[in-house]
A and B are shown apart, each in its own frame.
Chain A
Amino acid sequence: MQGAAADTEKHMKKALNHSSGHEKFLRAVRRKKIAVWTIRCGILAVLLILWELCARFEIIDPFVTSSPSRVAATLCELYEGGNLFYHIGITLMETVAGFFAAVIAGYGIAVVLWLNDGARKVFEPYIVVLNALPKIALGPLIIIWMGTGYTAIIFMTVIVSVIVCIMNTLTGFLQVDGTMLTLMRALGANKAQILAKLVIPASLPQLMNTLKVAVGLAWIGSIMGEYIVSRAGLGYLIVYGGQVFKLDLVMTATIILCTLAGGMYALVALAERILTR
């Protein structure tokens, strides 16, 4: 009886000891995390304050460089004019639509190329050339083919990102462990089964990487598209602001863009954490 009680006590002590050491470790990790975030936010604050002060005291010309307060004023102006969310909405829609279209099409094409070695050999040079081609060169063609509406911009977004999606996904497929492939073949699996049960799950981390790269490219595509054609959107605001020398507008749109792109990347990173848990 007594022995059992002593045993329990020892166990508890052990658990307590362990947890206090672990507690210390956790606290250290937490402290480090807080420090990193403080410094991150601090850098941003210092930059904003410096920018504002330099503009106030005319060390730099606020007409050319704008300033945080002018950006804030421009934001309010856009909001009150009812234009802020209109432009954000347009650009966001183009980017998100282009992103999903490129990722889905890229994945589908990669699957086809993986299933068919012959097709992969045949199309390899086309993919290489299309990857190297600066997509902006296609701008005039796209305008003529698809007009000046948002379909043209979504199309631009897709062609900017799809090739990289295909190449990244296919690389992930081809990197699958040879031992596991041998095992599947020895078990008599057909290509569809190898794809579904081995290649797709094994290349999930690579897919997540592809998504992260594609987010960045989708923003490049949509803004580039808006530079070339549009009548609305953040890219349009930037170009228009530049043309009429309203640099407050240019800065404001750029900062909104930073925020949105960062947010979308964070969403993808979150999806990665959930899916590869």
Chain B
Amino acid sequence: MMLEFINTDYAYHTLSGETEAVKGLSFSIVRGQFVSVIGPSGCGKTTILSLAAGLIAPTGGEVKRAEERCGYMLQRDALFPWRTVEANIFLPLEIRGERGGEARARAVELAKKYGLGDFLKKKPGQLSGGMRQRAALIRTLAAGAELLLLDEPFSALDYQTRLEVCDDVQGIIKNERKTALLVTHDISEAIALSDKVIVLSARPAHVVAEHDIPFGDGSPKSRRNSPEFAAMFETLRGELGL
């Protein structure tokens, strides 16, 4: 088991009151799985990732995580514009205080493997949106993350780039045999990318339904072209109450 939510609650406290973001949430992810969580905007998806990353502690229940590093990928790539792509990829290593050249060499290796070799000395501003998201993913992987937490990482991209980048990112994650938890409000993105889709209720978030996605050969393209896609889409849409 890579990650497990057991009857988890989380509430934000502000002066204007208490906001229950997550209530009685239970689901789990096994190693190597690509799991998507879909739910309406504001239902508590980002909160779930913060809980998974350990940035916040649950106010009730439990979050269990394997003793391994996890990495975050956010809506915007959050590459530091004053650093080169290479220096951005080294950032997690710097923070961990890994001065050795070995981890860096591995990071550069990874970047080259996924086509960033020519961009290493460039600033993020000189890259396309798709390339930037790829660089952000490589930064996460180079940090040695086994569990990737993806917070609507494609939603800031235009439609064309979005299809390309989400296939690209999923391919890299699968190829590196990492575990991923993606939150999104985009139903077709969830079906195309995941081994399992979890549907959330409106706030406070709890699980409404879970679906394994067995069809296709695992690539997003085969999923989208599969005849079962439309039916699954309708099912999920119904469960979201749209």
Contacts and interface: CB of A to CB of B under 8 A. Distances in A.
Interface of A: 177, 179-180, 182-189, 193, 197-198, 201-202, 204
B143 interface: yes
19 contacts: A177-B78, A179-B74, A180-B78, A182-B55, A182-B72, A183-B78, A184-B95, A185-B55, A186-B55, A186-B70, A186-B72, A187-B91, A187-B95, A188-B95, A197-B80, A197-B91, A197-B95, A202-B80, A204-B82
Interface in B64-103: 70-72, 74-76, 78, 80, 82, 91-92, 94-96
B202 interface: no
A187 B82 contact: no
B53 interface: yes
B188 to A, nearest CB: 25
- Say what secondary structure dominates the interface of chain A: helix
A193 B80 contact: no
Contacts of A204: 82
Contacts of B143: 187
Contact of A186 (B71, B76, B80, B94): B71
Interface of B: 53, 55, 70-72, 74-76, 78, 80, 82, 91-92, 94-96, 143, 149
Contacts of A193: 95
A184 B95 CA distance: 9
A193 B95 CA distance: 7
Contact of B80 (A182, A185, A188, A198): A198
B55 A188 contact: no
B80 A187 contact: no
Contacts of B92: 187
B96 A188 contact: yes
B82 A179 contact: no
Q: What 7 A-B pairs are tightest by C-beta distance, nearest first?
A: A186-B72, A183-B78, A179-B78, A189-B95, A180-B78, A187-B92, A187-B95
Nearest to A205: B82
B157 to A, nearest CB: 15
Contacts of A189: 95
